[in-house]
C-alpha cells in the first residue's frame, strides 16, 4: 500500500481534473433528472431550481403502461442470467484449458484469444441471420444465448485458475478418486472465488450496456433491455418533447444497478484483477 506517501500538488491537480471529467456528466444527469421539461430547456445544466425527481420517476413508470419497469427486469434478466451462466461456462472452459493437456490445446486457446479482438457489434448481423434461420429472433433467447459466451471471460478464467488453483490440488483430488467434474465444481470453482466475481461483474456490465445485439434482434418492445428502450424513446423527442425527462431519469436509474454491483463486489474485483499479475 502507498497510503502513507504524501500526494504531490501537481498529482492532486491532475486527479481533481480527471475526477471532474468523469463525475460532471453524472452530476449533470442527476441534476437534470430533477427538472421539469420546461426547466430542462431553459435553465443551466449544472444546477436545479426545484426538485421534481419523484414526479419524474412517477411519470417514467407510468409511460406506455409501465414499460420501463419491464425493460429494467429484462436488463436484469439478460445481464444477471447471462453473466451467471456465462461465468460458469467460462470457468469450465478456463479450467479445462488450464488443467488438462490435450492435442490442440494451445491452438484452441489462441483461437479464443483471437476472438477477443472481434468487436461484438460486428457479430450482431451474422448472428441475426443465423438466428432467423431457426426462428429465434425477437425472443429472449436471441439476446441471452450470445451473451452466455465471451472469449475474454474464458481468458480471464484461465489466467485466474492458473494462479489460484495449483496443479497439485487437482492431482490430490484425482488421487482421492474425485472425477473431473467433481474436482472442478467442489475444488476449482471455490478456489478461484475472487476471479469468478471479476468475470461475473465484467460480463454483467458488458451485457447491461449491450446495445447493438438487442437493436438488431428485437422488435417487440416488451423484450427490450433498458438501453434499447431509452434509445427508442430518445428518437421520438420531436414528437413528444416531454420524453426527454423520462429518458434522463431512466438513464439515471439504469446506471444504479451497475454502481451498486460494483460497490458490493468491489473488494473481490480488486483482488481478482491483480490475480495472476505475479507468479508465486
Partner 1 sequence: MTRWSNHKTTWRLGIGLVATGMVTLAGCAGAPAPNSTSATTGAAVVAGQCPASDGPVTLNYWSWGAGYEDAAKLWNSTHPDIQVTYSDIPVGNSGGYQKMFNAVKAGTAPDIGFLEFDNIAAFGSQDYLADVSGYVTDAQKADFVAPVKKAVSLGTDGAMFSVPIGGGPMALIYRKDLFTKHGIDVPTTWAEFEQAAAKVHKADPSAVLANFDGYGNANWFAGLSSQNKAQWFAPDGDGWKVSVNDAASKATADLWQRMLDARSASDLATFSPAWSSALAKGKIWSWPTAVWGAGVVKSSAPDTSGDWAVAPLPTWNAGEKVSATWGGGGLSVFKTSKHPCEAAQFALWMGTSPDALKILNKAIGIYPTTNTLLADPLFSEPDKFFGDQKIFDVFRAASEVTPDFTWGPSMTDTYKAITDAFTNAKTAKSSLSAALDEAQTAVVSSMQKDGFTVSQ
**Which residues form the interface with partner 1 (CB under 8 A)?**
38, 40-42, 121-122, 124-125, 128-129, 132-133, 137-138, 212, 215-216, 219-221, 231-232, 235-242, 244
Residue 119 CA, chain-centre distance (Å), reads 15
Q: Which is nearer to partner 1, 137 or 150 (CB)?
A: 137
Q: What is the DSSP string of 218-247?
A: ---GGG--HHHHHHHHHTTTTT-TTHHHHH
**Which residue, 182, 158, 167, 185, is CA-closest to 97?**
158
Q: Which is nearer to partner 1, 196 or 216 (CB)?
A: 216
Q: Which is nearer to partner 1, 199 or 216 (CB)?
A: 216
Q: Which is nearer to partner 1, 101 or 133 (CB)?
A: 133
Q: Which is nearer to partner 1, 18 or 24 (CB)?
A: 24
CB of 67 to partner 1, least distance (A): 9
Q: What is the DSSP string of 27-77?
A: HHHHHHTTS-HHHHHHS-SS--SS--HHHHHHHHHHGGGGHHHHHHHHHHH
CB of 236 to partner 1, least distance (A): 6
**SS3 for 136?**
coil
Residue 23 CA, chain-centre distance (Å), reads 20
Burial of 231 (0-12, 13-18, 19+ CB in 10 A): middle
CB of 71 to partner 1, least distance (A): 12
Q: Which is nearer to partner 1, 134 or 277 (CB)?
A: 134
Q: Which is nearer to partner 1, 50 or 270 (CB)?
A: 50
Q: In 10 A of CB 80, how many CB atoms?
A: 17
Terminal-residue alpha carbon distance, the chain: 19
170, 183 in Cβ contact below 8 A? yes
Cell 495449483 -> residue: 166
CB of 15 to partner 1, least distance (A): 30
DSSP structure class, residue 278: S
CB of 140 to partner 1, least distance (A): 16
Q: Which is nearer to partner 1, 10 or 238 (CB)?
A: 238
CB of 128 to partner 1, least distance (A): 6
CB of 187 to partner 1, least distance (A): 42
80, 260 in Cβ contact below 8 A? no
Nine-digit cell at 65? 403502461
CB of 54 to partner 1, least distance (A): 22
Amino acid at each position: 500500500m502507498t497510503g502513507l506517501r504524501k500526494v504531490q500538488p501537481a498529482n492532486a491537480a491532475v486527479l481533481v481534473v480527471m475526477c471532474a471529467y468523469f463525475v460532471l456528466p453524472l452530476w449533470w444527469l442527476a441534476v437534470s433528472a430533477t427538472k421539469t421539461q420546461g426547466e430542462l430547456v431553459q435553465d443551466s445544466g449544472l444546477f436545479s431550481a426545484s426538485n421534481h425527481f419523484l414526479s419524474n420517476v412517477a411519470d417514467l413508470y407510468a409511460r406506455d403502461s409501465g414499460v420501463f419497469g419491464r425493460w429494467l427486469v429484462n436488463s436484469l434478466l439478460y445481464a444477471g442470467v447471462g453473466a451467471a451462466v456465462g461465468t460458469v461456462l467460462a470457468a469450465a472452459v478456463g479450467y479445462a484449458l488450464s488443467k488438462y493437456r490435450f492435442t490442440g490445446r494451445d491452438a484452441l486457446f489462441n483461437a479464443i484469444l483471437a476472438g477477443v479482438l472481434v468487436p461484438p457489434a460486428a457479430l450482431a448481423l451474422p448472428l441475426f441471420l443465423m438466428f432467423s434461420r431457426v426462428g429465434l429472433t425477437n425472443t429472449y433467447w436471441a439476446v441471452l444465448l450470445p451473451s452466455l459466451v465471451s472469449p475474454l471471460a474464458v481468458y480471464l478464467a484461465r489466467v485466474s485458475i492458473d494462479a489460484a488453483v495449483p496443479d497439485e490440488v487437482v492431482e490430490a483430488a484425482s488421487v482421492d478418486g474425485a472425477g473431473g467434474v467433481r474436482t472442478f465444481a467442489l475444488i476449482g470453482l471455490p478456489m478461484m472465488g475472487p476471479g469468478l466475481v471479476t468475470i461475473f461483474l465484467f460480463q454483467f456490465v458488458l451485457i447491461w450496456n449491450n446495445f447493438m445485439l438487442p437493436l438488431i434482434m428485437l422488435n417487440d418492445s416488451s423484450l427490450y433491455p433498458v438501453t434499447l428502450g431509452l434509445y427508442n424513446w430518445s428518437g421520438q423527442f420531436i414528437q413528444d418533447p416531454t420524453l426527454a425527462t423520462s429518458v434522463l431519469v431512466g438513464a439515471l436509474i439504469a446506471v444504479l444497478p451497475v454502481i451498486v454491483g460494483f460497490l458490493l463486489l468491489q473488494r473481490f474485483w480488486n483482488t481478482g484483477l491483480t490475480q495472476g499479475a505475479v507468479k508465486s
